[in-house]
Amino acid sequence: MSLGVPGAEGAPLLVLDGVTKSFGAVAALRGVRLALHSGEAHALVGENGAGKSTLVKILAGAHAPDSGRMTLDGRPLELRGPADARAAGIAVIYQEPTLFPDLSVAENIFMGRHPLRGLRRIDSRAMNRDAEQLFQRLGVRIDPSRPARGLSIADQQLVEIAKALSFDARVLVMDEPTAALSGVEVERLFGVARSLCERGAAVLFISHRFDEVFDLCQRVTVLRDGAWVSSDSAADLTVDEVVRRMVGRDVSSLYPKQDAPLRDTLLEVRGLSRSGVFSDVSFSVRGGEIVALAGLVGAGRSEVARAVFGVDRYDAGEVRVAGRALPPNSPRRAIAAGMALVPEDRRQQGLVMELSVERNATLARRRALSRLGLLVGGAERAEARIWTRRLQVKAARLAAPVATLSGGNQQKVVLAKWLATEPRILIIDEPTRGIDVGTKAEVHRLLSELAGEGLAILMISSELPEVLGMADRVLVMHEGRVVRELPRAEADETSMMFAATGQGATA
Amino acid sequence: MSLTDTGAPARADGDPPPGPGRPRRTLTERLLAVRELGLLLALGALILVTTLRNDRFLSAQSIKDLLLGCAILVILAVGQTLVIVTRNVDLSVGSILGLVAFATGDLFLAAPGTPWPVALLLGVGLGAVCGVINGGLIAVAKVPALVITLGTLYAFRGVDYYWAAGRQINAADMPRSFLRLGNQTVLGVPVLFLVALVVVAAVGCYLRCYRSGRELYAIGSEPAAARLSGIPVGRRVLAVFVANGALAGLAGVLYAARFGTLDAAAGSGLELQVVAAAVVGGVAIFGGSGSAYGAALGAVLLTTIGSSLAVLRIDPFWQQAVVGALILAAIGLDRLLALRTAARLRGRSLHGA
């Protein structure tokens, strides 16, 4: 194991040495070191809670380290705030895009750095033109004068990248930028990252997808429990070795679904259509079965799930639960019929971030837990304890706000919330998005267990290995239609990609 | 939330030519999207209807009264816009106005020879001090502005009552040059209204064309992202409260000049009219969008409704009901526009309007 000190490439551009950061009693980072070289893409991997996000926040100037040194070009670097980081040429693309929904795309890119004309007024024509040029460099079409509200997550990510490009970042930090992107979009992003590298920038890339890590990066640093484990050339590493270092033990990164006896059809969807979004979607899910909805981002998978659950309206078709028609537009009736939806965007749709773990975990069960219309704390706590223990949620206290948990643990709380309603049908959208390998395996094992107990599970996933490992049947969507249905035996990466890109429909 | 004006700088220089992938808009949507135009139409319709019933409503004297009547509300609404855009609110403006108005009168009592520009500067300064107190408390206590300014609403008013100690100041106590400020006209337009116009133009231009002005929208649109993108959020919010306090101070001095008779109750309850004017003018109460021009037009509209109902001899009770209905209509319109815009931005809406 090498020591992460400057190698043959010469002096590093940005160095962190012995960086420590604690939040209260919890040590998030303990003496972490990192050396980023100009022209090199460097991967930072580690389980959730390993301290990656804290490290990113320190590089972004949002957190000040408790101790340790940072140098840029050999000179000491002190970041008193995000403005300092920006001035030093450090651009950060966060996992969750941080845009201003009310402002135009161009303004989002140039906020605080608008091009000016006379009297220091903003030159909006130049601003829109510059934004247009950035998008041309990225090879995408986004109207710079439209508001950021309503952009897809992939497009939001592109705006963030344009922002980073716009101030000629010397260090580009990308915190799981690909979690919401489809294959084509990831390729485009990597193209931009590589061209930045060629121009002498250093890239720090954080991802849970190892194929991407090895595709893009020349060097890999592993963190575990807030401590530095290793920094090596990517060529000297294998995926298995990286995973072993991340978790400190051997795990099978994917937990294949156990065969469960198939029971009666629980969920049946017939001819579901919504004008312009999806059309004529039909499928059924039996108890004990996991059916995956696969396809590219934007193919309409989440929209179908939301319509089935009654959050969104649909124009035609019907949804039947255990043979009985479910009225449209009523999540209440869907819940009463035994349906649960674990949404894709857990921060916005799955959790109340300011509320405690126990409140969140029991949110969908308020009625059942209340006595005479009052919620007694004890009942919530007892219920929450059962589920957080079963799902092994790692939280300091059950009364701690959910916002303080790591991404993987937040996802477990969302799961706990819905499992507490004892559903018969579980719809789960991107169950392991942004979750580390260890927790991923736990979630997979749990889903397999639930199917074994007779639940019908509809899973939406953009990760092919997950779909292939977990699903009994795969429905591939393309532009709002189910174009292929593949039983487990026939599903493989090639057949799915063909269908998802619209080429398999005729085959 | 509305999308009314935030794209303004982008639109200001004319739309880029529509190309593929660029969302199209219908003419009605474009017109509705410019909130100021809608307000002007409403104002025009109101004046037209009232004039048809009573043609004296459009006489020179009546227009002058109208402009005079709305000037102070316009200044306060524009100041409030600065605050609301950052997802805050300042409920203490009525109390600041009352305090400054009485202080100005008392200044002339204590030092009769004070030139009016000095009184004006002192009044604006006192208002700014009140703004510093508001902004400072919000920054230190990290409590929503709604709660802090609700507290200072009573605190400033309390200071006002303590200072006044039951006294009343009359026009005779103030120099004539000062009182003229409140009633004089230039080419038939009241000076007070000209001052308001200057304030509207200055704040409107600042919010639209200056980096720090745009940062106020960013703060109101997504505070966490604003912090991450290096915007000095605390400093900007403090500055906004100071500016709003100073404008309320200016309004207080003008109030003293216009009415002449002052007691400690001056401007009581004004804060809700101010917020109403801003909201009717298209300033989204959750921040991030709206313009000073819209807020000013909102203030003019509310004032005009008041006088037109009086001309039409309608019970003053209805005035409040109409204002309430207008606020609800404004919010409804915002919601409708937001939904339509969202549908259009998804590129999947099938509107044929």
pLDDT per position as a tens digit, B220-252: 999 989 988 889 999 999 999 999 999 999 999
Nearest-angstrom CA–CA distance, A42 and A220:
6
What is the structure's pLDDT at B35? 73
Checking DSSP bridges between strand A90-93 and strand A171-175, what pairing results, if any? Answer: parallel
Task: From B2, B342, B328, B285, select the one nearest B144 (Cα to Cα).
Answer: B285
**Which tokens go with A304?**
């179908």
What is the structure's pLDDT at A421? 81
Nearest-angstrom CA–CA distance, A46 and A506:
42
**Which tokens go with B121?**
């500067």
pLDDT per position as a tens digit, A346-389: 666 677 777 888 777 777 766 666 666 666 667 777 777 888 78
What integer is the mean pLDDT of A466-483? 87
Instruction: Considering only residues A335 and A346, tell me which one the structure prediction assigns the higher pLDDT.
Output: A335
Considering only CB atoms, which residues of chain A are within 8 Å of chain B? 60-62, 81-86, 92, 94, 98-104, 106-107, 111-114, 116, 120-122, 124-125, 127-128, 141, 143-147, 149-151, 275-277
Neighbours of B23 (CB within 10 A): 14
The reply to whether residue B11 touches residue A122, judged by beta carbons under 8 angstroms, is: no
The three-state secondary structure class of A206 is: strand
Instruction: Considering only residues A407 and A192, tell me which one the structure prediction assigns the higher pLDDT.
Output: A192
**Is residue A250 scored above 70 in pLDDT?**
no
Contact between A208 and A434 under an 8 Å Cβ cutoff? The reply is yes
* Residues of chain B positioned with their CB less than 8 A from the CB of A104: 6-7, 9-10
**Total length of chain B:** 353
What is the structure's pLDDT at A183? 75
| Residue B249 CA: distances (Å) to CA of A124, B67, B76, B120, B150 | 34, 20, 9, 9, 18
What is the structure's pLDDT at B170? 92
**Is residue A5 scored above 50 in pLDDT?**
no
The reply to whether residue B345 touches residue A147, judged by beta carbons under 8 angstroms, is: yes
The reply to whether residue B13 touches residue A125, judged by beta carbons under 8 angstroms, is: yes
**Is residue A43 scored above 70 in pLDDT?**
yes
Report the Cα A202 to chain-centroid distance in Å. Answer: 23
The reply to whether residue A98 touches residue B231, judged by beta carbons under 8 angstroms, is: no
Report the Cα A16 to chain-centroid distance in Å. Answer: 26
Buried b (16+ CB within 10 A) or exposed e, A420-447: bbebbbbbbbbbbbbbbbbbbbbbbebb
Counts for chain B of helices (H) and strands (E), in that order: 15, 2
What is the structure's pLDDT at A503? 60
* Residues of chain A positioned with their CB less than 8 A from the CB of B352: none
Contact between B199 and B127 under an 8 Å Cβ cutoff? The reply is no
A486 bridge partner residues: A474
Nearest-angstrom CA–CA distance, B209 and B203:
10
The three-state secondary structure class of A289 is: coil
The reply to whether residue B221 touches residue A121, judged by beta carbons under 8 angstroms, is: no
* A149 → closest Cβ in B3, B224, B230: B3
CA-based nearest distance A107→chain B, Å? 8
The reply to whether residue A145 touches residue B21, judged by beta carbons under 8 angstroms, is: no
What residues of chain B score a pLDDT lower than 70? Answer: 1-33, 338, 341-342, 344-353
The pLDDT-based confidence of A125 (bands split at 50, 70, 90) is very high
The reply to whether residue B230 touches residue A82, judged by beta carbons under 8 angstroms, is: yes
Contact between B98 and B252 under an 8 Å Cβ cutoff? The reply is yes
* B228 → closest Cβ in A62, A128, A150: A62
**Which tokens go with B174?**
């103030």
Q: What is the DSSP string of A75-118?
A: EE---SSHHHHHHTTEEEE-SS----TTSBHHHHHHTT---EEG
The reply to whether residue B345 touches residue A112, judged by beta carbons under 8 angstroms, is: no
A116 torsion bin: left (phi>0), alpha (psi -120 to 50), beta (else): beta
What is the structure's pLDDT at B19? 38
Q: Which residue has the tokens 């999540």?
A: A331
What is the structure's pLDDT at B29? 52
The reply to whether residue B228 touches residue A128, judged by beta carbons under 8 angstroms, is: no
User: In one letter, which amino acid is A479?
Assistant: E
**Is residue A251 scored above 70 in pLDDT?**
no
The reply to whether residue A124 touches residue B12, judged by beta carbons under 8 angstroms, is: yes
* B11 → closest Cβ in A143, A145, A151: A145
* Residues of chain A positioned with their CB less than 8 A from the CB of B209: 121-122
What is the structure's pLDDT at B350? 34
* Residues of chain A positioned with their CB less than 8 A from the CB of B13: 124-125
CA-based nearest distance B156→chain A, Å? 33
Buried b (16+ CB within 10 A) or exposed e, B260-278: bebbbebbeebbebbbbbb
CA-based nearest distance B103→chain A, Å? 37
CA-based nearest distance A140→chain B, Å? 10
Q: Mean pLDDT score of chain A, rounded to an integer? A: 83
* A82 → closest Cβ in B208, B227, B349: B227
* Residues of chain A positioned with their CB less than 8 A from the CB of B3: 102, 147, 149
CA-based nearest distance A28→chain B, Å? 20
What is the structure's pLDDT at B352? 33
The reply to whether residue A122 touches residue B210, judged by beta carbons under 8 angstroms, is: yes
Question: Closest-CA residue in chain A for B340?
Answer: A150
Nearest-angstrom CA–CA distance, B193 and B303:
13
**Is residue A12 scored above 50 in pLDDT?**
yes
Residues contacting residue B5 through CB under 8 Å, at least 6 positions apart: B35, B36, B282, B289, B290, B291, B294
Q: Where are the alpha helices (DSSP H) in B266-346?
A: 270-280, 292-311, 316-345
The three-state secondary structure class of A109 is: helix
**Which tokens go with A283?**
């499928």
User: In one letter, which amino acid is A233?
Assistant: S
Task: From B12, B232, B345, select the one nearest A156 (Cα to Cα).
Answer: B345
Task: From A306, A313, A345, select the one nearest A327 (Cα to Cα).
Answer: A313
Nearest-angstrom CA–CA distance, A265 and A288:
10
The torsion angles phi and psi of A295, rounded to 5 degrees, stand at 145, 175
CA-based nearest distance B250→chain A, Å? 26
| Residue A436 CA: distances (Å) to CA of A409, A466, B214 | 10, 13, 38
What is the structure's pLDDT at A161? 85
Question: Closest-CA residue in chain A for B211?
Answer: A112
User: In one letter, which amino acid is A90?
Assistant: I
* A150 → closest Cβ in B217, B232, B345: B345
A224 bridge partner residues: A227
DSSP A348: I
* B209 → closest Cβ in A83, A84, A122: A122
* Residues of chain A positioned with their CB less than 8 A from the CB of B15: 145
Q: What share of chain A is helix, strand, coil (3-state, %, to 5)?
A: 35, 25, 40
DSSP A374: B
| Residue B37 CA: distances (Å) to CA of A106, B4, B282, B298 | 25, 11, 11, 11
A30 torsion bin: left (phi>0), alpha (psi -120 to 50), beta (else): beta
**Which tokens go with B319?**
């005035």
A32 bridge partner residues: A19
Q: Which residue has the tokens 């126990």?
A: A358
What is the structure's pLDDT at B10? 38
pTM for the whole thing?
A: 0.72
The reply to whether residue B3 touches residue A102, judged by beta carbons under 8 angstroms, is: yes
For chain B, the farthest-separated pair of C-alpha atoms sits apart, in whole angstroms, at 70
Nearest-angstrom CA–CA distance, B219 and B223:
5
What is the structure's pLDDT at B27? 54
* Residues of chain A positioned with their CB less than 8 A from the CB of B9: 104, 107, 122, 124, 127
The torsion angles phi and psi of B321, rounded to 5 degrees, stand at -65, -40
What integer is the mean pLDDT of A32-37? 94
